[in-house]
A and B are shown apart, each in its own frame.
Chain A
Amino acid sequence: MYRSFRTLALAFASLLLLAAPAQAADQNLADYKYVLHISDMDPSKQELILNNAANLLEAYPPGAVDIEIVAYGPGLRLMFANNVNAERLDSLSQSGVRFSACGNTLKGMTKQLGEEPRLNPVAKVVPGGIVRIGELVKQGYIYVKP
């Protein structure tokens, strides 16, 4: 009985661990939480939003700020694998910045292009960019659209 209970407890703990990355935004202990939004066609906005993220990281002590960049519409180009800023995305990702790519936009672009655009591996596809922003704001994230 005790063994079964222990097995069950371990399995439950493992499931929690597996689910943990997906819920990182909900459970993080950062003092400041930002969601940065890009949906513009204007290429200068791409650099601007990456600068915003870099400046936030620099402004606070390590671990004190949590940043997620959400892209949809024409702004999704920022998260294309061949984007000229790909190296900056990698670098920011290594510093803890998360990148969420809108699944709805991806579907639309796939239809237009006839093939799915290749995304930067650091980008995580979320069902809807606008939905993700709503979720994060509900969790207390500060919303910024540069």
Chain B
Amino acid sequence: MQANKLFKRTLLGASCALALAGTALPAQAANWLMLQGTEPEGASARANVWGFLQMNYSKDFSDANPSGQYVPPKLLGPDLDSQSGFNINRARLGVRGTGFPIDSRINYFLMAEFGNSCITHCAGDNTIAKMIDASITLNYLPGARVRAGLFKTPGAEEGLQAIHVFDYINFTEVANGLLLERFPNAKYTANLPAQTEEQLQGGGSLNGFTTPVGGFRDVGVQVFDAFDVGKDWEVAYAAMVGNGNGIEFKNSDGEYDKYLYLSAEKKYGGKGPKAEGLKFFGWGQWGSRQLDNTNDSVDNLKKYDRNRAGLGMKYMNKPFRFTAEYITADGMIFEGPDKPSFYFANAANSTGANNGADAKGNGWYVEGGWYIPNSKWELDLRYDTATFNEARNDEHQFDKWTFGVQYHFNPMTRVTVNYEMRDFKCTANTAQCTNANVNLNGVGDKIGVQLTAIF
């Protein structure tokens, strides 16, 4: 209720600010809302076929616990059965354009995922392909473009940006844990125990979720636009209502998620995903989820809030790039693919303070890039930290340094090498943390090499 009031108040304020902001820009300004939701006016194709492939090799140097068992952070997803291997984590094919090219007021975006990730290959949901974008934008109302369908929700930079230009192989812990949503199973699902190498190779599973990850997407309706406010500054907004079920076409709790996004960017030049500028942004998402977290045979779904908010900035002016973002989370704190009912501990603790479903979390990251002048090389460095279950007796801290090198064969093809140094621990002085740290102590470094080809 309070969240709804806040949403309405913020929306009203944003509307007033934007009414004063000026006239709408032509489409295809340098921001994700416009890049993904519109087409260049008078210059788009009827059907522009495009996509990208990302294949990688990763090796996790983590050690097993003293009993020889592994937990998900020590294994490679989505299968979670090995510590090294090749994978095609993204293979996406899409088409976008203006169906009736002389009328720029309507455009569409359609894309499917064929890669091996938790979009297509989760425990109970193995499919060859999954539709991840299917939207139509109506550009009729000045200052209020309307986008409907399945698409990325207005939110954190890491989730909203085009993933094929993401400068790292893996997400930050805060984005992976607090934003990349895992949806509760319809019925209570017990925690999966840590597995030995033999168990994993014999088909043991550490992924208890039955539906795909949210993919930073939702099905719904968004009103958005960008405005030139003078002196090369651009203000953009988006307000969205969605089912709150990610890429699944259902509304399992019967209520709708609300999203709000505002950004202001000083544009330095260029266009497309690598446009240069200094952007400040803020966003919020408010929703609820149903979760059966009682270990019995009764269907007793309980509703929990799932609210997220963030503030950040991005500076891009070659040869330098810098990004920082702070994110807070309230409710539905993901505890790991082996904890599908959002508990770190077993059911005996289900009503205790270690319940991630109503806990809070937060995190932030800073990252920077240096495009070495007169070369095809790029150096990247990122630090991210996240706290899950704040002040609970199983409060966790995830810290990670990522060192990256990229070589751009051409603007559409590059290789990315990342080395991650991870420090994961349970920080409370409790029995739960003692148990958790038996597994987390062994979490070690991780290396990845990824080849990206966009077409």
Q: Which residues of A contact B (CB under 8 A)?
A: 41-43, 46, 74, 77-78, 80, 82-86, 109, 112-113, 117
Q: How far is the CA of A112 from the CA of B99 in the complex (A)?
A: 14
Interface residue? B28 (CB, 8 A) = yes
- Are A82 and B45 in contact, CB atoms less than 8 angstroms apart? no
In the assembled complex, which residues on chain B have CB atoms less than 8 Å from the CB atom of A117?
A: 102
Q: How far is the CA of A138 from the CA of B42 in the complex (A)?
A: 31
In the assembled complex, which residues on chain A have CB atoms less than 8 Å from the CB atom of B44?
A: 43
- Are A77 and B102 in contact, CB atoms less than 8 angstroms apart? yes
> What bracket does the count of chain B residues touching chain A fall in?
10 to 19
A-B CB proximity, top 4 nearest: A83-B42, A43-B43, A80-B42, A84-B40
Interface residue? B41 (CB, 8 A) = yes
In the assembled complex, which residues on chain A have CB atoms less than 8 Å from the CB atom of B40?
A: 43, 84
Which residue on A lies nearest to B43, using beta carbons? A43
Interface residue? B204 (CB, 8 A) = no
- Are A80 and B45 in contact, CB atoms less than 8 angstroms apart? no
Which of the residues B41, B42, B45, B104 comes within 8 Å of A42, measured between beta carbons? B45
Interface residue? B101 (CB, 8 A) = yes
- Are B41 and A83 in contact, CB atoms less than 8 angstroms apart? yes
Which of the residues A46, A78, A84, A113 comes within 8 Å of B26, measured between beta carbons? A84
Which of the residues B27, B28, B41, B46 comes within 8 Å of A80, measured between beta carbons? B41
Interface residue? B103 (CB, 8 A) = yes
Q: How far is the CA of A88 from the CA of B252 in the complex (A)?
A: 50
- Are A82 and B104 in contact, CB atoms less than 8 angstroms apart? yes
In the assembled complex, which residues on chain B have CB atoms less than 8 Å from the CB atom of A80?
A: 41-42, 104
In the assembled complex, which residues on chain B have CB atoms less than 8 Å from the CB atom of A46?
A: 43
Which residue on B lies nearest to A114, using beta carbons? B103
In the assembled complex, which residues on chain A have CB atoms less than 8 Å from the CB atom of B103?
A: 113
Which residue on B lies nearest to A112, using beta carbons? B102
- Are A82 and B26 in contact, CB atoms less than 8 angstroms apart? yes
Interface residue ranges of B1-35 to A (CB < 8 Å): 26-28
Interface residue ranges of B83-106 to A (CB < 8 Å): 101-104
Q: How far is the CA of A42 from the CA of B47 in the complex (A)?
A: 10
> Could you tell me the distance in whole angstroms from the C-beta of B138 to the nearest C-beta in chain A?
15
Q: List 24 A-B contacts (CB under 8 A).
A: A41-B46, A41-B101, A42-B45, A43-B43, A43-B45, A46-B43, A74-B101, A74-B102, A77-B42, A77-B101, A78-B42, A80-B42, A80-B104, A82-B104, A83-B41, A83-B42, A84-B40, A85-B42, A85-B43, A86-B26, A109-B102, A112-B102, A113-B103, A117-B102
In the assembled complex, which residues on chain A have CB atoms less than 8 Å from the CB atom of B46?
A: 41
- Are B102 and A84 in contact, CB atoms less than 8 angstroms apart? no
> Could you tell me the distance in whole angstroms from the C-beta of A118 to the nearest C-beta in chain B?
10
> Could you tell me the distance in whole angstroms from the C-beta of A51 to the nearest C-beta in chain B?
14
> Could you tell me the distance in whole angstroms from the C-beta of A48 to the nearest C-beta in chain B?
12
In the assembled complex, which residues on chain B have CB atoms less than 8 Å from the CB atom of A84?
A: 26-28, 40-43
> Could you tell me the distance in whole angstroms from the C-beta of B31 to the nearest C-beta in chain A?
15
In the assembled complex, which residues on chain A have CB atoms less than 8 Å from the CB atom of B27?
A: 84
In the assembled complex, which residues on chain B have CB atoms less than 8 Å from the CB atom of A41?
A: 45-46, 101
- Are B43 and A83 in contact, CB atoms less than 8 angstroms apart? yes
Q: How far is the CA of A113 from the CA of B44 in the complex (A)?
A: 17
Q: How far is the CA of A74 from the CA of B102 in the complex (A)?
A: 8
Which residue on B lies nearest to A109, using beta carbons? B102
Which residue on A lies nearest to B46, using beta carbons? A41
In the assembled complex, which residues on chain A have CB atoms less than 8 Å from the CB atom of B28?
A: 84
In the assembled complex, which residues on chain A have CB atoms less than 8 Å from the CB atom of B43?
A: 43, 46, 77-78, 83-85
In the assembled complex, which residues on chain B have CB atoms less than 8 Å from the CB atom of A113?
A: 102-103
